[in-house]
């Protein structure tokens, strides 16, 4: 995951169903979050390395 500015709210959504991850992204973006999406746990782990 990329570094964000200080104080920015970020969320990582780990979901293999595109429709669900899209809904999560829309809701969280609407609440002011910067969103990263991973389709599975392996991808999520890779985002942190």
What are the extents of the domains in the chain?
9-47
Helix (H, G, I), strand (E, B) or coil at 29: helix
- pLDDT at site 1: 56
- pLDDT at site 10: 96
- pLDDT at site 23: 98
- pLDDT at site 49: 86
- pLDDT at site 7: 76
Give residue for tokens 């169903």.
17
Phi, psi (5° rounding) for residue 6? Answer: -60, 135
- CA-CA distances (angstroms) from residue 13 to 18, 29, 42? 11, 12, 13
Per-residue pLDDT reduced to its tens digit, 1-49: 555 566 789 999 999 999 999 999 999 999 999 999 999 999 999 998 8
Instruction: Dump strand ranges (E) for 1-49.
Output: 9-14, 33-38
- pLDDT at site 16: 98
């Amino acid at each position: 995951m990329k570094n964000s500015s200080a104080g920015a709210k970020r969320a990582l959504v780990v979901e293999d169903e595109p429709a669900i991850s899209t809904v999560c992204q829309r809701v969280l973006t609407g609440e002011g979050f910067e969103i990263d999406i991973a389709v599975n746990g392996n991808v999520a782990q890779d985002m942190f390395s």
